Structure 1
Amino acid sequence: MSEPFDEQAAMQHYLVCGTEDCQKNGQFYCNDCHRSLCEQCRDEHLINPKTKIHEIVLYRHRKQQLPVEKCELHPTRTVDMFCRECQIALCSKCSTMTEHHTHTFDDLEEIYSEKYAAWQGEFSKIQKYFLPTSLGLKTDIEEDATQIKKIMESIRTSMKAEAESLKNLVDEVTSENIKHTHTMENSLLKMLKSQETTYEDYMAYLEYMSDEFQEYLSITNQKLLFSKTLKIQVIPETTKPVPPVFTAGQFNKHDIIKLLGRVNVPNTKPEKRKIQAMEAESTHMKSTKKQLEQSKEKSDEKQTLCLSSSVTKVREYSVPGVDSARHVSVDKPGRFWVSDSNGNLVQTDLQGNLLQKIQTSGRDEGYHTATQDGDLIYTDKYKKVIYKITSDKKITEFIKTGDWTPLSVHSSRINGDILVGMDIGKEAKVTRYSKAGKEIQNIQRNNQGQELYSNLHYITENINGDICTSDYNKSAVVVVNKSGQHRFSYTGQGSRFYPYGICTDVLGHILVCEGLSNTVHLLDQDGGFLAFILSPQQGIKYPCGVCVDDENNLYVGQITNTVTVYKYLQ
């Protein structure tokens, strides 16, 4: 059911027309007058004889206005001309001076606009090609480093195994040699024992002969001296043992290296890393034909879409199973996930039927996100684990975050990376993981070493790769580019700003809920405020979570269990 257009509310919701006393939506822009125009004022501008030749474009295609700079020689004049011959900027009065009498002048605003567009183009190349390509090369290097570590560890394991094998052989040979010495020793001792026995027998013989000769020498037996012949057996001959000699092995360190082997770097020329050509960027970023077609459709759609003159309510749901709608993740067409402040996470369809319900540790955070593959990823801040729910309702452990507590999560629509906002104590950071769950990048501090974040309760990614976070403690939307460099912080339109849910759309707009004023702010991708796209006048009550689906419908979750869907692009 559509709501009637409230012109007074539109004054608050959109960039106001720059024509005096006109409060309509200024969706167009005059590059000559440098002011926004509503549709009616644009038509009047084009038929007015004084302004009909002016260049009028959509507001997002506007030329950048030349910064005001006063002439040093003529302080009342503004620098707005460029002298080709002198290559300097000057005012119109300077151009009439003698030294510039015959010189040629260009409109400085045109030059500035051209330069601005050129630098924007270069900046776009940095964001869309150079940074992603460099990040890819950095990732390749990290993967190579991991592979080198694995290879070197494998080599060390092989070395230890070779050394252990050689040690076992040395022990075996040494054991055999020692055993052989025992055998040789026993043989020699046995021989010596035999010789000892020979002399013991001979000495016994000599004792016997001595006794017998004593008997012959007695007076009573003197006759025997004449009848017996004296003959003593000669001393037996024996040989001395020849002791074994140990001949030490002849080897050195080089011989051991030959036995054990050594590590060498192959004499191979290193292969250069392949750098994807910039012309092929779009195919480099997309992996399938289907993704390429979807990308083209979105690009075509982006060229035709613009802000509508009013916000239209499409439908409204009372979501079963939750007492509030703190965060919304659109799943496949016709299904979405909603979480409340009690940890209930439910999936429902467009008819309000409850499809799934699980209990989680989540509260007032954007702790779940739908992936391009149709899965849901959600964080568990107590277990410090990120889980994945597949289409068959199977829940698996996906990523462990160590000591860091994961609070918010977003699945990139650009490349499928997983962005996680997490903290530990007073520190906070954004960690990027690949689709497979491999840690790629950590973002924590700016170039001056200052902490970027404090309370990362909601996180999303813009079409240019910017990482946008809603930081309640800092009272700001903090935006960094994909390499982690701080771009800007948006702190609201009043003295106080309490940001909650955040998302982006196909035009690069940033939409963020603000709790104090019960509004949804619309920003351009450079942080410029465009409109209060929703406010209490439209029945919004404490908006908490926002999400844009593939059909550019805006889902808004409120402090009740209500999710309202709006159309704001046309």
Structure 2
Amino acid sequence: MIMKNAALCPIPIYKDNMSKPFDEQAAMQHYLVCGTENCQKNGQFYCNSCHLPLCEQCRDEHKKSPNTKNHEIVIYRHHKHQLPMEICQDHPTRNKELFCRECSIPLCSKCSIMNEHKGHVFDDLEEIYADKFAAWQGEFSKIQKYFLPTTKGLKSDIEEDFTEIKNIMESIRISMKTEAESLKNLVDEVTSESIENTHIMEQSLLKMLKSQESTCDDYIKYLWKMSDEFQKYLSITNQTLLFTKTLKIQPIPETTKPVLPVFSASRFSKNDVTKLLGKANVPNKTPEKRKIQPMEAESAHTKPTEKQLEQSKEKSDVKQTLSLSSSVTKVREYSVPDVDRTCHVSVDESGRLWVSDDRGNLVQIDLQGNLLQKIQTGGGHGYHTATQDGDLIYTDRHKKVIYRITQDRKIAELKKTGDWRPISIHSSRINGDILVGMWKEREAKVTRYNKAGKEVQNIQKDNQGQKLYSEPHYITEDINGDICASNIDFYDGAVVVVNKSGHHRFSYTGQGSEFWPCGICTDVLGHILVCDDNSSSVHLLDQDGGFMSVILSPQQGIKRPRGVSVDDENNLRVGQWITNTVTVYKYLQ
């Protein structure tokens, strides 16, 4: 039984029967329970005066009761935290519940009428506590959601700079060695050519000298011949012959002295060699400050009342008034033609469904379940997604290509993924970016592309250098930009969530038994819905990874759910491994 006494029940009470067998109806829902005695409904509202969670029916009764009609009732997420009880030292039967402005101290109601506080102004201590609590909770939230992730991001950038500097310096050293080796090769080449040229020069000069030597030899032979001729004439006795014969000696042939080669040595200094080879230096410029993403402006802390909720409804602020239903209602069921199983479900802007099985069949059906088109693909799990423009993007893990199907049914190649196999994909509802789960030999990552297919981010490891993913077969994005991936591993499955900067936020590994996460999606309230193939159930998490409930289970006829998607009407569409049907549920109200 749940007590009405607010002092005895300041903490939210959750109905939780997870220890019971899975086939018990009680184990199917886990939610905040209404604080009214004997009421087991979902306590989605909160009375700040009684400090009790209330269901919708009890809220209405609370408003009608003369004793509580003036109480402040808000939706639960904006509830006021109850003031911790502190006994007054001077009046042990009283609790401190007032705050004296002049003395700046808390006190009890009896202290307030004492002479030392006469004429002083008092405030409700609970109001002050609630405001302070909200303020510090806001600061705590800033630390957790902005300052810590941003600083860790800066640290990650610094660590990347460490690696980059080491890589750059090693590259410079390699370049220096390459330049030196290149210069050495050039020196060897020039030296070899120069030496070869000396041989040519030498041969030319020697050839010239050889020619002159030959000329001299020929002239010497001529002189010996002339000498014999003169001697012959000198020995004859016939004087008449002496006077009639004239002998003349030819002049000595001219020869030239060779011009000897000389070597002109160059004078090189160390600076000359440095100029030839180049050197490393740090540019003389002011270091660029690391960019710190500004903290998004947060709205002022408000505490909407029941009256404000009614006004909000009148303004059709659906998101403001949406909350979890106490039960899940089946709305309708589609029988999808030309597929054997429904492994993944995508919903486009008009509410039409794209459904795929594991054999490569991808079909589109209208709101009545009629077949609109069918294409043959490489198959897989969460490999298609509808875009904000009404197109469909899908991956082919075998061809390693991302394709786009336009509304006029034209198929075009959007991006090749190189060595990586694209196995899951999601088109962001925030900015249109494309998130792709990738896999190759014992490696996995999530890559972000812009609308045009330009790669802008790769997420592979956490801040400790540990791998985040094994096989991210399904992927989606939360309303705050977190990237949520179902890491299918039948030995160690987990939902891995990183923020938009790629820093690991949390991993969800189920509720005790083996967890085989498959299809995953999010809703307008920031909830994360994920299929567990092992227990044939759909788990509901908050955006910080906290388990909230099992909203679908075998008790509702679910068996091996694989694909989930929430449409613009906040309907949950579920596809199952064993059938070609898509079932639609209402779980928000």
Instruction: Tell me the TM-score normalised to structure 1 length.
Output: 0.69
Residue identity matched to 1:461? E
Partner residue of 2:446 out of 426, 431, 436: 431
The alignment partner of 2:228 has SS state of helix
Matched, 1:320 2:341: no
Partner residue of 1:479 out of 497, 504, 511: 497
CA contact (8 A) 2:212 2:255 kept: no
The alignment partner of 1:345 has SS state of strand
**Quick one: distance in 1 between partners of 2:39 and 2:174?**
73
Structure 1 residues 70 and 551: alpha-carbon distance in aligned structure 2, compared to 1, 3 A threshold: same
The alignment partner of 1:20 has SS state of coil
- Give the C-alpha shift of residue 280 in structure 1: 8.0
Partner residue of 1:440 out of 457, 474, 483: 457
Following superposition of structure 1 onto structure 2, how do residues 214-253 of structure 1 map, counting pairs within 5 Å? 215-216=235-236, 221=237, 236=252, 241-252=257-268
- Matched with 1:555 is 573
Matched, 1:414 2:430: yes
Residue identity matched to 1:543? P
Structure 1 residues 239 and 459: alpha-carbon distance in aligned structure 2, compared to 1, 3 A threshold: closer
Q: CA-to-partner distance for each residue in 1:151-187, whole Å, 9 max, x for gaps?
A: 9999999999999999999999999888777666555
Structure 1 residues 190 and 498: alpha-carbon distance in aligned structure 2, compared to 1, 3 A threshold: closer
- Give the C-alpha shift of residue 322 in structure 1: 0.3
Partner residue of 1:24 out of 25, 35, 41: 41
- Matched with 1:114 is 135
Following superposition of structure 1 onto structure 2, how do residues 27-426 of structure 1 map, counting pairs within 5 Å? 27-31=44-48, 34-46=51-63, 55-63=72-80, 111-126=132-147, 186-213=207-234, 215-216=235-236, 221=237, 236=252, 241-252=257-268, 262=278, 269-270=285-286, 272=288, 275=291, 278=294, 302-308=319-325, 311=328, 313-351=330-368, 352-362=370-380, 365-382=381-398, 385-391=400-406, 392-396=409-413, 398-400=415-417, 402=419, 406-422=422-438
Percent identity of equivalent pairs: 45
CA contact (8 A) 1:10 1:24 kept: no
Deviates more, 1:106-115 or 1:151-160: 151-160
**Quick one: distance in 1 between partners of 2:204 and 2:184?**
30
The alignment partner of 1:369 has SS state of strand
**Quick one: distance in 1 between partners of 2:153 and 2:67?**
48
CA contact (8 A) 1:15 1:27 kept: yes
Residue identity matched to 2:45? F
- Give the C-alpha shift of residue 119 in structure 1: 1.5
- Give the C-alpha shift of residue 227 in structure 1: 8.5
- Give the C-alpha shift of residue 503 in structure 1: 0.5
Deviates more, 1:132-141 or 1:345-354: 132-141
Structure 1 residues 516 and 379: alpha-carbon distance in aligned structure 2, compared to 1, 3 A threshold: same
- Give the C-alpha shift of residue 253 in structure 1: 5.6
**Quick one: distance in 2 between partners of 1:185 and 1:12?**
109
CA contact (8 A) 1:12 1:531 kept: yes
For structure 1, the 5+ residue unaligned runs are 1-7, 96-100, 283-298
- Give the C-alpha shift of residue 510 in structure 1: 0.8
Residue identity matched to 1:400? T
- Matched with 1:288 is none
Partner residue of 1:459 out of 459, 462, 475: 475
- Give the C-alpha shift of residue 509 in structure 1: 0.6
The alignment partner of 2:29 has SS state of helix
The alignment partner of 1:465 has SS state of coil
Deviates more, 1:519-528 or 1:163-172: 163-172
CA contact (8 A) 1:16 1:36 kept: yes
Q: CA-to-partner distance for each residue in 1:536-570, whole Å, 9 max, x for gaps?
A: 56554543211123443322213321123344444
**Quick one: distance in 2 between partners of 1:520 and 1:39?**
25
**Quick one: distance in 1 between partners of 2:430 and 2:161?**
19
Give the aligned CA root-mean-square deviation in angstroms.
Answer: 5.9
CA contact (8 A) 2:438 2:447 kept: no
- Matched with 2:19 is none
Residue identity matched to 1:432? T
Following superposition of structure 1 onto structure 2, how do residues 498-509 of structure 1 map, counting pairs within 5 Å? 498-509=516-527
Q: CA-to-partner distance for each residue in 1:213-235, whole Å, 9 max, x for gaps?
A: 3x34xxxx498999899999698
Matched, 1:564 2:583: yes
- Give the C-alpha shift of residue 58 in structure 1: 1.5
Structure 1 residues 242 and 360: alpha-carbon distance in aligned structure 2, compared to 1, 3 A threshold: closer
Matched, 1:524 2:545: no
Residue identity matched to 2:521? C
**Quick one: distance in 2 between partners of 1:302 and 1:446?**
35
Structure 1 residues 345 and 303: alpha-carbon distance in aligned structure 2, compared to 1, 3 A threshold: same
- Give the C-alpha shift of residue 208 in structure 1: 1.9
Structure 1 residues 212 and 477: alpha-carbon distance in aligned structure 2, compared to 1, 3 A threshold: same
Structure 1 residues 552 and 174: alpha-carbon distance in aligned structure 2, compared to 1, 3 A threshold: farther
The alignment partner of 1:324 has SS state of coil
The alignment partner of 1:114 has SS state of helix
Instruction: Tell me the TM-score normalised to structure 2 length.
Output: 0.67
Structure 1 residues 494 and 69: alpha-carbon distance in aligned structure 2, compared to 1, 3 A threshold: farther
- Give the C-alpha shift of residue 203 in structure 1: 2.2
Structure 1 residues 488 and 537: alpha-carbon distance in aligned structure 2, compared to 1, 3 A threshold: same
Structure 1 residues 123 and 13: alpha-carbon distance in aligned structure 2, compared to 1, 3 A threshold: closer
For structure 2, the 5+ residue unaligned runs are 1-24, 112-116, 299-315
CA contact (8 A) 1:504 1:511 kept: yes
Number of residue pairs aligned between Structure 1 and Structure 2: 525
Residue identity matched to 2:415? F
Structure 1 residues 373 and 225: alpha-carbon distance in aligned structure 2, compared to 1, 3 A threshold: same
CA contact (8 A) 1:129 1:281 kept: no
Residue identity matched to 1:340? D
**Quick one: distance in 2 between partners of 1:153 and 1:82?**
74
Q: CA-to-partner distance for each residue in 1:377-424, whole Å, 9 max, x for gaps?
A: 4444455x242233153252724363x654433333334444444556
CA contact (8 A) 1:131 1:483 kept: no
The alignment partner of 1:278 has SS state of coil
Residue identity matched to 1:561? N
**Quick one: distance in 2 between partners of 1:478 and 1:82?**
47
- Give the C-alpha shift of residue 507 in structure 1: 1.4
CA contact (8 A) 1:421 1:428 kept: no
Residue identity matched to 1:414? I
**Quick one: distance in 1 between partners of 2:202 and 2:390?**
77
Residue identity matched to 1:244? L
Structure 1 residues 421 and 259: alpha-carbon distance in aligned structure 2, compared to 1, 3 A threshold: closer
Structure 1 residues 231 and 17: alpha-carbon distance in aligned structure 2, compared to 1, 3 A threshold: same
CA contact (8 A) 1:129 1:278 kept: no
Matched, 1:470 2:486: yes
CA contact (8 A) 1:459 1:470 kept: yes
Matched, 1:546 2:560: no
Residue identity matched to 1:500? C
**Quick one: distance in 1 between partners of 2:326 and 2:478?**
23
Residue identity matched to 1:556? V
**Quick one: distance in 2 between partners of 1:368 and 1:52?**
52
Matched, 1:533 2:555: no
Deviates more, 1:48-57 or 1:559-568: 48-57
**Quick one: distance in 2 between partners of 1:70 and 1:478?**
43
CA contact (8 A) 2:363 2:371 kept: no
**Quick one: distance in 1 between partners of 2:379 and 2:216?**
94
- Give the C-alpha shift of residue 504 in structure 1: 0.5
CA contact (8 A) 2:425 2:475 kept: yes
